[in-house]
Amino acid sequence: MTTLPSSPGALAGIKVLDLSRVLAGPWCTQMLADLGADVIKVERPGAGDDTRQWGPPFLKDAAGNDTNQASYFTACNRNKRSVTIDMASAEGQALIRQMALQADIVVENFKVGGLRQYGLDHESLRALNPRLIYCSVTGFGQSGPYAERAGYDLMVQAMTGMMSITGRADSEPGGGPLRVGVAVIDLFTGIYASNAILAALHVRDNATNGTGQGQHIDMALLDVGMAVLANQASGFLATGEAPGRMGNSHPSLAPYQDFPTQDGNMLLAIGNDGQFQRFCAAAGQPQWAADARFATNTLRVHNRAELIPAMEVVTRTRTTAAWIALLEDKAVPCGPVNNIAQAFDDAQVKARGLAVTLPRWKDGEAGDGVAQITGVASPLRLSANPPVLRNAPPALGQHTDEVLGELGLDAARIAQLRSGGVV
């Protein structure tokens, strides 16, 4: 169901010029759009964002048939207005500069120096609009020996060591390094970028000591990939020992992993000694809690080779649902190992309204066969200014006439630009 809050959103009145494509940049700007910012996405005429073609899977039309529009694009472009502009043309560059004059924020993810040839780089646009907050998302940052390299999520997962700690150990069946199942570095980079942008907005506009000036934000996938190694990085920096792959086990907690059950698997996330004691009592194995080898978490980590196999014998005696019913009642953290279909069917996911259907076209607009799109709701829950989920991800160029009209161009001029391939 679609729920439209009455609030205009925390970022109402903020204008964002989105020159990014694929995932990290669009993820950032979608977060800003959900918070109420007016995000104008500039795309290539006739082609658009690369992810519009990254299928299957594809969006369905009203009859349930596949369209030629990939669902990937819809994951990160909600609440935006799509404008097609050829930035390689002088007229297109002039239009984008005109839009930048009215913008608060620019987000781009071209290679370092890639927009300089068009006069759309940070220095050029800041000269026109000193209040502009300009966020550059690259693979390796604006400096260093790799600065001019293209960077991709998978490459960065490999380079940062994330793949080296993801997957089963080499000694186990199916062992070897693995990527995370979604482009997690891109997603984290988008989140970090949105945080940096909000900080820059505060510095510019703070009523007490705001500077009134924008700034340049240098966001690199590599930097983010290293940062989100989190406890694994801190462990290495403390000891000099590189961690390895442990499957679903935790390097610092035990038992904290998946366990086989009578009909599948369950996840136990025991984070303290009290939870372990309650698990042992519920499972009918009080001797484990009394065993000196397992008395504390540190001891259980050191002796997991003895503890885990013994637990697996017991966990196979009940179904997953039976274990969850038993352990939840004892405040032992546990849950099923769901696939994505099961996750969306979960009662809590439904209660939180995490699948949201939004209209693509306003009443009276000529559509493209895709009237509405269902996506995942924003997880941001502000009590006074909640996210405003207004519109589905746009069709290519859906708002070109609307946005150019706001710049002062009349219908004849827009038609001229369209016939010339500029928009």
List, by residue number, the catalytic residues.
Answer: 186
User: Is residue 3 predicted with pLDDT exceeding 50?
Assistant: no
Q: Is the pLDDT of residue 110 over 60?
A: yes
The CATH 3.30.1540.10 portion of the chain extends over 256-337
What's the pLDDT tens digit per position in 303-324?
Answer: 999 999 999 999 999 999 999 9
The pLDDT of residue 415 is above 70: yes
CATH 3.30.1540.10 corresponds to the domain 256-337: yes
Q: Which CATH superfamily is domain 15-228+344-419 in?
A: Crotonobetainyl-coa:carnitine coa-transferase; domain 1 (3.40.50.10540)
Task: Dump pLDDT digits (tens) for 155-165.
Answer: 999 999 999 99
Q: Is the pLDDT of residue 4 over 80?
A: no
pLDDT tier at 6, thresholds 50, 70, 90: low
- 157, 180 Cβ separation under 8 angstroms: yes
Q: State percent of the chain over pLDDT 70.
A: 99
- What is the pTM for the complete model shown? 0.93
